[in-house]
Amino acid sequence: MGYLGNHLATIITGIFAAVLTGLWPYFVDFAPILNFVFIMAVPITWFLTFTCWISQKSNDYMHKHASSHAQTEKKSLSNTQTIQTTTSGNQIGLSEIKQVQSELSAELNNLKESVKLKDGEIERLNQEISNLQTLVQIESLKTELANLKMLASKRK
């Protein structure tokens, strides 16, 4: 994290804004254009100072949150032999974890099989829909052909 908590840009911009604010009363009488420059520069530099401060606070918050999440992940990965449950304080052995893992993997395999069956059913239904669309197109063509035959017979 460096000196000043990575707020160096905020501090430099704040010092510049403070200096401009302090010099403003001394240059008011020199030229009206100089007064206009100060009217524009002082609020802009204070706005930049505020923006730098807010962005650094946001960055600090995001990195603090990400690093604490990574630390908890490392802690959970390092505890592989036994896990202490928070509610009862009991120790769970590695064999119990393996048993639960095998049960969950069997359940996952069952879910995968049911998803495959559902996918097959969806594919079959899509094929039926496309067949029905083809039949509808054929019927509309037959109707158009019949209409054309009627028009042709009326012209003769």
Task: Tell me which DSSP letter residue 81 carries.
Answer: S
pLDDT at 33 over 90: no
CB 27 within 8 A of CB 38: yes
Task: Tell me which DSSP letter residue 7 carries.
Answer: -
Rounded Cα–Cα distance for residues 156 and 153 (Å): 5
Tokens of 129: 């829909």
Work out the pLDDT band at 32, boundaries 50, 70, 90: confident
- Residues 66-103: tens digit of each pLDDT: 766 566 656 555 554 445 554 555 677 888 888 889 99
- Cα 3-9-10 angle, rounded to 5 deg: 95
- Residues 130-156: tens digit of each pLDDT: 999 999 999 999 999 999 999 889 887
Q: What is the pLDDT of residue 46?
A: 95
Rounded Cα–Cα distance for residues 144 and 50 (Å): 73
Work out the pLDDT band at 13, boundaries 50, 70, 90: very high
Higher pLDDT, 82 or 18: 18
Work out the pLDDT band at 121, boundaries 50, 70, 90: confident
Domain ranges of the chain: 7-66
Rounded Cα–Cα distance for residues 2 and 13 (Å): 18
CB 54 within 8 A of CB 13: no
